[in-house]
Amino acid sequence: MSMTAEKVAEVLALPEVDRAYLAHQLIASLDPALETDTEAEWLDVIDRRSREIEEGRVRCRPVLETLREARAQLHAHRQPS
């Protein structure tokens, strides 16, 4: 079974939330056992991080600021020595 460009275009035209859901389902379908363990681990991380934020132990930053910094670090890392 092959995926046509038309199907890909149709999926890419979906709203972001639907594409994210579809991506999650596709990845989960590759190894369902892994998904169960991973989901439980992520829930633990989410709970811990939520408590840290509520207790004021961490400083939240805007997503765009964090992404800019991460991209700059990746770019610097890729530069030849």
Location of structure tokens 């004021």: 56
pTM of structure: 0.42
Query: Tens of pLDDT along 16-37?
Result: 999 999 998 888 788 766 666 7
pLDDT digits (tens, 9 = 90+) for 44-65: 999 999 999 999 999 899 999 9
Residue 38's CB is within 10 A of a number of other CB atoms, namely 13
Spatial distance between the Cα atoms of 34 and 42, rounded to a whole number of angstroms:
12
Dist. CA 35–CA 32, nearest whole Å: 5
